[in-house]
Amino acid sequence: MKVFPAARASQALKIEGLPMTNTVKSKSLRVVGSRSDDSVSVYRYYVLGILTLTYTLNFLDRQIIGILAVPLKEEFQLSDSQFGLLGGLAFALLYSTLAVPIAWFADRFSRVWIITGALTLWSGFTALCGLAGSFTQLFMCRMGVGIGEAGGVAPAYSLISDYFPKRQRGRADLSPKWSRI
């Protein structure tokens, strides 16, 4: 049985997909549904697996520019400064600046749809990077990748806190980080 803060109760019911049979106890809402504890446990690990896969794609998209450094510099005749802009200004500035506002949205709106939109955005811009014909086009596409990837991490950690009790979050939070290896 899960206990959710009253402020997040309606969202918790949507996330769990449980019938709206619940009881209110003090300042928290107990959600009682027809699912067995085993099916909820299996589903939470399914969600964690999807988040791990998403985070792995996020990480690979973030690193691909460094992996392809030599061919990119040759293809576009990039100086070291221009190449640094692709990973620094074009990507990291937008990624780090937009992560906080997107985390704010993740606390108020559907985290699943925010992650879905972010994944779609950064995957689309990653594909457009492959079609870029100039430094400027590649720079703009890397900006799009940074914007999309900014919406991947914070909502994922918030989802983990929805699906895992406090005593299990440490292990669940490590899972996406292990996908880097």
Domain limits of the chain? Answer: 1-35, 36-178
pLDDT score, position 113: 93
The Cα-based distances of 68 to 8, 26, 40, 86, 127 in angstroms read 44, 56, 42, 12, 14
In this prediction the pTM is: 0.70
pLDDT score, position 10: 45
pLDDT score, position 128: 95
pLDDT score, position 117: 93
pLDDT score, position 23: 34
pLDDT tens-place values along the chain, 181 residues long = 444 444 444 444 444 444 433 333 333 333 444 445 556 688 888 988 898 888 888 888 878 888 999 999 999 999 999 999 988 888 888 888 998 999 999 989 999 999 999 999 999 999 999 999 999 999 999 999 989 988 888 898 888 888 888 888 777 765 555 555 4
pLDDT score, position 39: 62
pLDDT score, position 37: 57
pLDDT score, position 78: 92
What does the buried/exposed string (b/e) look like for 74-93 if buried means 16 or more CB atoms within 10 Å of the residue's CB? Answer: eebebeeeebebbbeebbee
Q: Domain 36-178: give its CATH architecture.
A: Up-down Bundle (1.20)
